[in-house]
């Protein structure tokens, strides 16, 4: 029996800012027994347009995405927020166009956030990554509240040799990112973010992990600005052992 075809929806942030997360995700999906494909007709899930009230652009991007993955058995997304957009919101966009709605629903059924995919859909068992250090985990809002992602990343992390997870206070509290919110209402965002990084800094950990690059860039930007030693990585990097690149926002360590 051929292995299932899993399309990787890279997400625009991973594509542009941190390809290592995409490679980590691909390695994990392959370890779970799938063939990974990366359609090049994908760009962005459309959330910036959707949350700015631009329905027309959102629908164009939704159809573009849906049709890029027609030959895939699964669509796997290394982001709870983008996965929720594909899985929960795409069908709503076409509520008044039955044919497209059917197409969007069929697509949504194939979509899975990476950690959930690796625990519930194509169980990976033990992950390839090893990490001797202490980490804490931030539950990103969309993944947590729209897709119920809570135990999946923790279950996977518990199989990483050497890793010790300590929960931070208010792990489920928003980091203040909110997409364009962080730019448009920067000082409110900063107040929410400060509370988040302060909470993370209370636990004995050297890394904050999360499943969404937006939140991670937000937290990492605050920590480097404050010169705080706590660093940020996408959970996929740790699970896959994809640690060649420095943590988010950190300088490349010169190789001798």
Partner 1 sequence: MKLDTAHFPANAAAALANPRLQSALAKLPGGLVAQRRAAVAAVPEFEALREEARAIRDATLSDLANHLEAFEAKATAMGSHVHWAVDAAEARLKISDVCRSANARLVIKGKSMVTEEIGLNAHLEGNGIDVVESDLGEYIIQKRGEAPSHIIAPAIHLTEADVEADFRSYHTHLNPDRTLGTPESLVAEARAVLRQKFLTADVGITGANFLISETGSSIIVTNEGNGDLTQILPRVHIVVATIDKVVPTLDQAITLLRVLARSATGQDMTAYTTIATGPRRADDLDGPSECHIVLIDNGRTEMLSSGMREALRCIRCGACMNHCPVYNAIGGHAYGWVYPGPIGAVLTPALLGITETSHLPNASTFCGSCETVCPVKIPLVSLMRSWRDRAHDQGPRTRTARLWSGTWAYAATRPALYHLLARFGIAIASAFGRRKGHFRTLPFPRGWLKHRDLPAPQGRTFQQLWKETERGVPR
In the window 79-138, what residues touch partner 1 (CB under 8 A)?
A: none
Q: Which of residues 142-181 bind partner 1 (CB under 8 A)?
A: 142, 145-146, 170, 173-174, 176-179, 181
Bridge partners for 8 per DSSP: 76
Pick one of 51, 134, 154, 241: the residue that binds partner 1 (CB under 8 A): 51
Whichever of 26 and 207 has its CB closer to partner 1, that residue is: 26
Pick one of 60, 151, 158, 166: the residue that binds partner 1 (CB under 8 A): 60
* Token couple for 31: 């370890």
In order of 42, 116, 133, 225, 234, the CA distances from 119 in angstroms are: 25, 5, 23, 35, 17
In order of 43, 48, 123, 232, the CA distances from 54 in angstroms are: 17, 9, 37, 32
Q: Which of residues 195-214 bind partner 1 (CB under 8 A)?
A: 195
CB of 10 to partner 1, least distance (A): 5
User: By CB under 8 A, which span of 58-66, 103-111, 130-138, 159-167 interacts with partner 1?
Assistant: 58-66
Q: Is 218 in the site for partner 1 (CB under 8 A)?
A: yes
**Contact pattern for partner 1 over residues 231 through 250, marking x by CB under 8 A:** -----------x-xxx-xxx
CB of 74 to partner 1, least distance (A): 15
CB of 152 to partner 1, least distance (A): 18
Instruction: Give the Cβ contact number of residue 166 at 10 Å.
Output: 12
User: By CB under 8 A, which span of 99-107, 112-120, 157-165, 220-228 interacts with partner 1?
Assistant: 220-228
Pick one of 156, 192, 205, 209: the residue that binds partner 1 (CB under 8 A): 192
Whichever of 161 and 172 has its CB closer to partner 1, that residue is: 172
CB of 107 to partner 1, least distance (A): 17
19 vs 203: CA distance, rounded Å: 29
**Binding residues with partner 1: total (CB under 8 A):** 76
DSSP helix/strand/coil, 36: strand
227 vs 126: CA distance, rounded Å: 35
State the pairing for strand pair 161-165/111-113. unpaired
- Dihedral, 204, 174, 157, 208 alpha carbons, nearest 10: -40
User: By CB under 8 A, which span of 34-42, 69-77, 115-123, 203-211 interacts with partner 1?
Assistant: 34-42
Instruction: Give the Cβ contact number of residue 40 at 10 Å.
Output: 7
Instruction: Give the Cβ contact number of residue 180 at 10 Å.
Output: 12
């Amino acid at each position: 029996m051929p292995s299932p075809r899993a399309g990787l929806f890279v997400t625009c942030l991973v594509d542009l800012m941190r390809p290592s997360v995409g490679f980590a995700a691909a390695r994990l999906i392959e370890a779970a027994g799938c063939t990974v494909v990366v359609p090049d007709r994908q760009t962005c899930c459309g959330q910036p347009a959707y949350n700015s009230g631009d329905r027309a652009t959102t629908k164009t991007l939704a159809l573009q995405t849906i049709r890029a993955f027609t030959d895939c058995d699964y669509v796997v997304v290394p982001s709870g927020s983008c996965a929720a957009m594909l899985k929960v919101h795409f069908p709503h966009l076409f509520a008044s166009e039955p044919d497209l709605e059917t197409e969007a629903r069929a697509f949504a059924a194939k979509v899975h956030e990476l950690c959930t995919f690796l625990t519930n859909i194509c169980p990976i068992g033990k992950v390839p990554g090893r990490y001797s250090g202490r980490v804490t985990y931030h539950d990103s809002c969309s993944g947590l509240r729209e897709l119920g992602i809570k135990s999946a990343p923790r279950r996977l992390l518990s199989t990483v040799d050497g890793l010790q997870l300590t929960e931070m206070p208010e792990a489920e509290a928003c980091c203040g990112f909110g997409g364009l919110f962080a730019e448009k209402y920067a000082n409110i965002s900063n107040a929410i973010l400060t509370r988040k990084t302060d909470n993370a800094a209370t636990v004995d950990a050297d890394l904050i992990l999360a499943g969404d690059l937006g939140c991670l860039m937000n937290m990492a930007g605050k920590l480097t600005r404050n010169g705080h030693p706590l660093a940020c990585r996408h959970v996929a990097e740790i699970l896959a052992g994809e640690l060649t690149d420095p943590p988010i926002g950190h300088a490349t360590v010169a190789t001798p």
